[in-house]
Structure 1
Amino acid sequence: MELAAHQRIVASTGPAAGKITGINHLVMLCTDLDRSTRFYRDLLGMKVVRTQPDWREEYERQYFFQLANGELFSLYQSQKMTAPERPLVNSLWPEDDEPSQRPQKLDHLAFNVDSMDDLHWFQERLTAHGVPVSKVWVSEAGFLAGRIYFSDPDGNPLEIATFDAADPRWESFDDRAWLREEHPVPALFEEAQG
């Protein structure tokens, strides 16, 4: 009996498997780092760990923010920046714009929280501070237990999501259930070559 396509997928392979342990840092653009600091530090709770003065012509300054797990997120302030395109699947965000018509550097950035309670807390907090935020999207099929969508002051599309690892449904969950594509790309059936 032949295995279904999702059962034949080689999900991890080769000598590099497992060596990437997280995100070192991500960089997005903004037009006003004062306003963005108030958003990312004061509203979302990130810690400022580095500031870079205006020493380059491409941008005015750069700040690094640290997430609770130690990963870094950075913003370049640039007055040359144009408004970002809307996300490809923008129906999840509360703004009512057309979807992106061209590729961009980053579609959206998703932050993690530990639980659905934390997710609801952020939704209420963002709403209380006048930030348009989507409803809490709940997934019964696993992967992301819940998520919300909103944008930063420069229109960069953001998401906060949770796996809600404490949920007892994860104890018996088989993560192969997430491999749902009937006809995945050929690379998923191949071992790495070196």
Structure 2
Amino acid sequence: MMLKLNRIHHIAIICSDYQKSKYFYSEILGLKIVREVYREARDSYKLDLEVGDLYQIELFSFPNPVPRPSRPEAAGLRHLAFEVNALDDAVFHITEFGIEVEPIRVDEFTGKRFTFFSDPDGLPLELYER
């Protein structure tokens, strides 16, 4: 029998400044807050955010998280990519909040345009045009 994975259920991100990251993901990126809980035993918040109608990001806060390895090519998760309909509009929107965005590039295999930026902890994020 072969393992059948249906889809990605969620992506978990640990942040160093919960309020700053909550604002970034919910207000700047516009992800819908599904639920927020404070787990007293862990002194930790868990914020569930909806991406479209299909995916979810879990944003965690923990006291004194270990810093992320150097970027861009550290072992592990390379980046998180979000599909957008209009890349220029998306870039305009996030730069209005003072977010720095790399120059737009073109994927040599698909011909699609994309760019990178970072969340408040330096996690590389990508906008990929549909």
User: Which category describes the TM-score, using the shorter chain as reference length?
Assistant: 0.7 to 0.9
Q: Deviations over 1:114-156 (max 9, x none)?
A: x3x2x211111121211111111113531x6121101111111
Which blocks of at least 5 consecutive residues in structure 2 are unaligned?
none
- With the length of structure 1 as denominator, give the TM-score of the two structures: 0.60
Q: Which residue of 2 aligns with 1:148?
A: 115
Q: Which residue of 2 aligns with 1:97?
A: none
Quick check: 1:108–1:156 contact (8 Å CA) kept in 2? Answer: yes
Aligned-residue CA RMSD (Å): 2.0
Distance in 2 (CA, whole Å) between partners of 1:157 and 1:83 is: 14
Q: Which residue of 1 aligns with 2:22?
A: 37
Matched position secondary structure for 2:36: strand
- Give matches, 1:30-179, under 5 Å: 30-57=15-42, 60-85=44-69, 86-88=71-73, 100=74, 103-104=75-76, 106-113=77-84, 115=85, 117=86, 119-142=87-110, 145-162=112-129, 164=130
Distance in 1 (CA, whole Å) between partners of 2:68 and 2:41 is: 22
Deviation, 1:55, is 3.3
Distance in 1 (CA, whole Å) between partners of 2:123 and 2:63 is: 15
- With the length of structure 2 as denominator, give the TM-score of the two structures: 0.86
Q: Which has the higher strand share?
A: 2
Q: Which has the higher helix share?
A: 1
Deviation, 1:71, is 0.7
Distance in 2 (CA, whole Å) between partners of 1:124 and 1:112 is: 15
Matched position secondary structure for 1:111: strand
1:23 aligns with 2:4: no
